[in-house]
Every structure is written in structure tokens, then in C-alpha cells.
Amino acid sequence: MTAEKKATRPVSAQRSKAKQPKTKDEPLTTGSLAPQPAASRSIAASIGAQVRSLRRKLDLTGAELADQAGLSAGMLSKIENGAVSASIESLEALARALNVPLTTFFASYEEQRDCSYVLARQGVTIERRGTKAGHQYQLLGHSISGEVVVEPYLITLTEEAKPYAMFQHAGVEFIYMLTGKVLYRHADKAYPLAPGDALFFDAAALHGPEELTKLPMTYLSIIIYPRG
């Protein structure tokens, strides 16, 4: 009498049936509440928007521009809507009709985004009129466009430094202590700062190091204010 064998599946086969985690990468966001940037347009859509904008500035209808450029009205409409990638010949004809350089069509697509890269100990040393003795400012980056200016500094106070709590300027400022200790004044309050401590404040109020507890000291200072 033979024992009836039970049908079993190999362990590997059973595991393969288990629910697998999704492999598709999902976009991640930072902890910041900053809104997401607008989606980048394709080069065809960017060129089309430029053509339409230039045509309207010259008060031309689509039919008029198409006739001057030797294109059909339908083709011009597709170019302006980014539905087709225009040939170089078509773009050259449109540039002549609009009386602009060919590169004008690519201007918005090639818009640069600010990025500043500074190697260790190679920030620009800032010397300004009124800079206090023993207060060394090293600019770690700069913004060249946009509605706000951001100035990140590495500030060092040497043994020669003297307390000074009368700084005042537009915008806001963020301080992050790296070394040393200080009693930092802002308006009518003073805050003891040690390595790892941070302070964020309205820079229109009087502020600055009121008591230099431990020198030398360094801290990161980021100043943000409206451009112009």
C-alpha cells in the first residue's frame, strides 16, 4: 500500500507569489513648505510660446505671419501650440518675418537657474566700510537673479573682536553657531548661543553680539532681503 503523495509547490514558487513591493520610484519632497516649481515646458512648447508672443507684439494675425514666413496657417498654429517640432528652415523663416535673431526663440527655454559652488576656505572675504575690527566675513555664495537676495556668510570673531549689537538692515537673518559662545542681542532680548544653537530674526531691529563669552567663535549667517 503506497502513501498518496500530497501535491506541494516548491518554496521558491510560493515566495514568488508573495506581494512584491512597488519598484516604481515616486518623487520625494523636502520638509520645506515651499511650493513646487511649475513643470518645465518642452522645447517645442517654449519656442511656440515665443513665436506667439513676438507675433502679438507686432500686432500680426496668425494668417499674416504665416503668409510672410511662407508657411501654412495650420502649420503656424501647430508651431505656436507646441504640437510639432519646427524645422530650422521654418524657424529661420519666422525669424526673418518677425525681424529677430533665430536664438530669440530659445531664450526662455535656456533660462539659467542660479547655483553657486564655493570650495572650502575659498569664500570671498568681505571688507565693508564700518566693518568692526576682529569681525571677519566670508561670503559663501550669491544669487544673481530672482526677487530675493540671499547672502550666506561664514563669520569669524577673533580675539581682537569687540561686542557690537547695533547692526541693522532690511530683511531677515538666520544664525547657526559653529564654535565659541556668545550672548547675541536682538531688539530687547539677548540669547546665549553655543555650537548647534540657531537664531532666526527680523533684521530691521538692532542686533549683534553683545557679550563675547568664548573666542574665537564662528557662525553661519544667512541674510535674505528683497532685491532692489
pLDDT digits 0-9 by tens, 177-187: 999 999 999 99
Q: Which of 9, 30, 6, 31 is nearest to 18 (CA)?
A: 9
pLDDT digits 0-9 by tens, 69-117: 999 999 999 999 989 988 888 999 999 999 998 888 876 665 556 677 8
One-letter amino acid of 174? F
Q: What pLDDT was estimated at residue 38?
A: 58
One-letter amino acid of 224? I
Number of C-beta neighbours around residue 86 at 10 A: 22
Taking phi over 0 as left and psi of -120 to 50 as alpha, with beta for the rest, 174 belongs to beta
- For residue 35, the SS3 value is coil
CA distance 103 to 31: 39
Q: Kindly list the structural domains of the chain, giving each domain's residue range(s) and its CATH number in brackets, ordered by start.
A: 43-106 (1.10.260.40), 124-226 (2.60.120.10)
* Angle, CA 186 vertex, CA 183 and CA 191 arms, to 5°: 35
- For residue 219, the SS3 value is strand
CA distance 156 to 215: 9
Residue 11: all three cell numbers together = 518554496
Judge whether 91 and 47 are in contact, CB under 8 Å: yes
Number of C-beta neighbours around residue 191 at 10 A: 15
pLDDT digits 0-9 by tens, 19-29: 555 445 666 66
CA distance 142 to 147: 13
- Does residue 152 surpass a pLDDT of 80? yes
CA distance 166 to 159: 20
